[in-house]
Amino acid sequence: MTARLFQFIGSPYCAKVRKILDFKGIDFEVVEVDYLERKELLAATNQLTVPALTLENGETIVDSARIASRLEELFPEPTILPSRWRGMHRVLAGYIDTELAEVLFRWNIPDKAAHWREHGRDREALWRFIRERKYGAGFIDRMIEERPANLALAVEALTPFEEAIGDNSFLFGRIGLADFALYGQLYYFAFTGELKIPTEFTNLRAYFSRINRISSRVEPE
């Protein structure tokens, strides 16, 4: 049985897990979960959130950080935790998945709203309900109105990463967990099919494309 990744296409955490699987050369099938109909996801994981990964041995792991740790245990090579920078990768990945994620999430709201609207007003309504239950009534429309300001905050938050990458291929010289976390968050700027990373971020645009090319798929002869 091939590993199965349950995902939403717009999720940065699912993008992070996809690239870790690709990097480690693990063959997997993507299961795009319907936002309204989640019976298969519930049956496999006993929960309603993604990412969730079911391995060939039948084991199911949920949450991108737990998935990354378990994959590193089961498939240690190639490693996502280079020995010299192991601690830094964990610390920075934690920051990226929380603090940076919150900033980019707010900028991305208009694209997410348009995405779910294209898939049906009922899906958009449920997505809005879930977000506004957490952030308060009117949050979605407020984020749409404040997109220019949120883009400015996103640029401010991403500038240290643009500077850190510079001429380097990856954050600490060798690819690792923090790079996959950052790739996942940058995926916010790409999931629509158009790369929206600000053009002034030439290093981040090249960095995203470099990681995006990693694949476990066998190329046709």
**Alpha carbon distances (Å) from 150 to 139, 157, 188:** 13, 10, 13
C-alpha span between 116 and 106 (Å, rounded): 16
C-alpha span between 127 and 195 (Å, rounded): 23
CATH fold group of domain 3-74:
Glutaredoxin (3.40.30)
What digits encode the pLDDT tens for the residues 32-88?
998 888 888 888 888 888 999 999 998 999 999 999 999 999 999 999 999 999 999
**Domain segments of the chain as ranges:** 3-74, 83-212
pLDDT value of residue 168: 87
pTM of the model: 0.94
C-alpha span between 31 and 107 (Å, rounded): 26
Q: Are 6 and 51 in contact (CB under 8 A)?
A: yes
C-alpha span between 176 and 82 (Å, rounded): 7
CATH fold group of domain 83-212:
Glutathione S-transferase Yfyf (Class Pi); Chain A, domain 2 (1.20.1050)
Please determine, for residue 219, whether its predicted confidence score (pLDDT) is greater than 80: no
Average per-residue pLDDT in the chain? 93
Position 216 confidence tier, pLDDT thresholds 50, 70, 90: low
3-74 and 83-212, same CATH topology? no
What digits encode the pLDDT tens for the residues 121-142?
999 999 999 999 999 999 999 9
Which of 210, 95, 205 is closest to 157 using CA atoms? 95
